């Protein structure tokens, strides 16, 4: 089979070819290596990759399969990792100078689970530094480009993960989502990205940005691929104190037994000022598709979430970032200033040299929010608003099974377009951050293209721990459209 036929095949189809022994893991891995060599000098999705290690794991997978000991559907499939998830023996940089030379001594729980399933960790994917950003412009190493238009951003902070899948450099990838960092780049790059319910997937081995908001999530070409990857990484983990002992169904099997129709809500506040007309039109067309298949469409209201989510998010997220990033002090690990006159000077200089401007901005904001006299006025009040935001969604879910909404106000914007305006950048997550505050699952699926050929994503918001239903709703739209058959030309 030609490499050009392999690189854009969905992971489920690749798994079927591997199982039928019509394809070897070595052949697949070699095709991805060749593709990455051919296009990544322009896309720049990867921070690093180890070809020899990937091929060694591919040979081991083929040997297991030949001996009748294959470990399941993921055995032999390469999976890209956002450079914020620990893989033993591989770099763990968070795209920051602070950790530029750091190598992880251990596996994250999701990494261990994927290795146990036979998947091949394939490279370290670029991101906004410490996952703080919406465009991958904050990486300390390089700017990742959107494969659909190399002058535009891929989104962020999981921009490298989304770009790698879109460009045919990886069939599957793991990202992290703190305020939309899986869903927004998935929308910008025309792939599928899922943020699971908070607590469904272990955060052990995920470098923390905002601990009460962070969640690891899969990116892939199809809903079925996402379901396959989610099934491998979900489940309770005693190493993560926020992990929830929810049952993990066979998500792929559940896709086929949940045909609908469903009651679907449309938040009226999400379709007002600020939403690009082409993006809004594509999302509205998707809503009409569901109506045409017999789904009941209801208008719902999220008054608190739509009005206060951005403010609450940037108080809580920056406060937690200030606390989490205090560990990078130049003493134990990470960047250490070469010249310092004492412990305090070492601390100041190491952090000044190691962190980029956006990370510094958020640390300063968060430290202010937690300081004496401001904690109650800002952080405590934001946590109370967070409860009201969750209540907004829970009230809506008394009437509907899921919500339909845009992922972002616009399609991918040009590199540098919003770099000097932090507020404009923050508002690109206006439709996604409320899910992190409420701990809800959400998925972005392709629902069209602008006249300029840029992908548009539909966001489907689900009830807590109802990923099986959420995936089935998403797949119903995907099966009725051919967007997944379109790929960027590089």
Continuous segment of H or E residues that includes residue 345:
helix 343-354
Q: What is the pTM of this model?
A: 0.97
User: Considering the domain 3-301+394-485 in this protein, what is its CATH number?
Assistant: 3.90.1300.10
- Residue tagged 């010249």 (tokens): 339
- Evaluate if residue 262 carries a pLDDT over 90: yes
For the chain, which residues make up each domain, given as ranges?
3-301+394-485
CA 26 – CA 68 distance, rounded (Å): 17
Residues with catalytic function = 82, 157, 181
First-to-last alpha carbon distance for the chain, in angstroms, is 21
**216-220 and 172-176 beta bridge pairing:** antiparallel
- Evaluate if residue 256 carries a pLDDT over 90: no
pLDDT tens for 280-328 read 999 999 999 999 999 999 999 999 999 999 999 999 999 999 999 999 9
How is 10-40 classified by DSSP, letter by letter?
A: -HHHHHHHHHTTSS-HHHHHHHHHHHHHHHH
pLDDT tens for 192-224 read 999 999 999 999 999 999 999 999 999 999 999
- Evaluate if residue 1 carries a pLDDT over 70: no
CA 394 – CA 469 distance, rounded (Å): 16
pLDDT tens for 148-174 read 999 999 999 999 999 999 999 999 999
Instruction: Kindly state the average pLDDT of the residues 328-341.
Output: 92
Continuous segment of H or E residues that includes residue 232:
helix 223-233
The pLDDT of residue 69: 97
The pLDDT of residue 268: 96
Given a contact cutoff of 8 angstroms between Cβ atoms, the answer to whether 204 and 237 are in contact is: yes
CA 412 – CA 403 distance, rounded (Å): 23
- 8-state DSSP, 225: H
At residue 2 the predicted structure's pLDDT band, cuts being 50, 70 and 90, is low
- Evaluate if residue 61 carries a pLDDT over 90: yes
- Evaluate if residue 102 carries a pLDDT over 90: yes
- Evaluate if residue 348 carries a pLDDT over 70: yes
DSSP strands (E only) in 4-153: 46-48, 78-82, 120-125
Instruction: Kindly state the average pLDDT of the residues 424-439.
Output: 93
Instruction: Kindly state the average pLDDT of the residues 116-131.
Output: 98
The pLDDT of residue 425: 87
Given a contact cutoff of 8 angstroms between Cβ atoms, the answer to whether 231 and 72 are in contact is: no
The pLDDT of residue 422: 81
The pLDDT of residue 178: 98
Of 137, 32, 177, 30, the C-alpha closest to 412 is 137
Continuous segment of H or E residues that includes residue 478:
helix 467-479
Longest dimension (CA), the chain: 71
CA dihedral 16, 184, 321, 269 (to 10 degrees): -130
Instruction: Kindly state the average pLDDT of the residues 354-378.
Output: 95
CA 178 – CA 124 distance, rounded (Å): 19
The pLDDT of residue 258: 73
Instruction: Kindly state the average pLDDT of the residues 24-42.
Output: 98
* Percent composition of the chain: helix, strand, coil (DSSP 3-state, to 5): 45, 15, 40
CA 186 – CA 475 distance, rounded (Å): 16
- Evaluate if residue 254 carries a pLDDT over 70: yes
């Amino acid at each position: 089979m030609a490499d050009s036929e392999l690189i854009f095949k969905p992971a489920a189809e690749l798994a079927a070819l591997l199982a039928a022994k019509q394809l070897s893991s070595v052949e697949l891995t070699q095709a991805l290596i060749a593709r990455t060599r051919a296009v990544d000098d322009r896309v720049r999705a990867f921070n690093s990759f180890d070809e020899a290690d990937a091929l060694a794991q591919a040979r081991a997978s083929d040997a297991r399969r030949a001996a009748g000991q294959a470990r399941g559907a993921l055995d032999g499939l390469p999976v890209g990792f956002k450079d914020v998830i620990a893989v033993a023996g591989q770099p763990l940089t968070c795209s920051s100078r602070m950790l530029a030379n750091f190598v992880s001594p251990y596996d994250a729980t999701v990494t261990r689970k994927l290795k146990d399933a036979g998947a091949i960790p394939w490279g370290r994917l670029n991101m906004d530094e410490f996952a703080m950003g919406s465009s991958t412009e904050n990486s300390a190493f390089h700017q990742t480009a959107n494969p659909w238009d190399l002058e535009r951003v891929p989104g962020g902070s999981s921009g490298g993960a989304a770009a790698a899948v879109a460009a045919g450099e990886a069939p599957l990838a793991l990202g992290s989502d703190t305020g939309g960092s899986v869903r927004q780049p998935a929308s910008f790059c025309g792939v599928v990205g899922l943020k699971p319910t908070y607590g469904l997937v272990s955060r052990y081995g995920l470098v923390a940005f905002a601990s009460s908001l962070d969640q690891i999530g899969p990116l892939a070409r199809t809903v079925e691929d996402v379901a396959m990857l989610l099934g491998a990484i979900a489940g309770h983990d005693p190493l993560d104190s926020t992990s929830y002992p929810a049952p993990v169904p066979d998500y792929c099997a559940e896709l086929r037994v949940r045909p609908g129709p469903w009651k679907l809500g449309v938040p009226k506040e999400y379709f007002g000022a600020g939403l690009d007309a082409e993006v809004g039109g594509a999302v509205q067309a998707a809503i009409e598709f569901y109506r045409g298949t017999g789904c009941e469409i209801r208008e719902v209201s999220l008054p608190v979430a739509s009005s206060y989510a951005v403010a609450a998010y940037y108080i809580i997220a920056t406060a937690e970032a200030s606390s989490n990033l205090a560990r990078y002090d130049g003493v134990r690990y990470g960047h250490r200033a070469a010249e310092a006159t004492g412990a305090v000077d070492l601390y100041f200089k190491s952090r000044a040299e190691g962190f980029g401007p956006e990370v510094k901005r958020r640390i300063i904001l968060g430290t202010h929010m937690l300081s004496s006299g401001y904690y109650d006025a800002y952080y405590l009040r934001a946590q109370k608003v967070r409860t009201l935001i969750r209540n907004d969604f829970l009230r809506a879910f008394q009437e509907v099974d899921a919500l339909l909404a845009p992922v972002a106000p616009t399609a991918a914007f040009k590199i540098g377009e919003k770099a000097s305006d932090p507020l404009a950048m923050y508002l690109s997550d206006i439709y996604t951050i409320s899910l992190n505050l409420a701990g809800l699952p959400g998925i972005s699926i392709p629902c069209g293209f602008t006249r300029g050929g840029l992908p548009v994503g539909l966001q489907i918001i689900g009830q807590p721990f109802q990923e099986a239903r959420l995936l089935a709703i998403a797949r119903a739209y995907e099966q009725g459209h051919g967007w997944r058959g379109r790929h960027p030309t590089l």
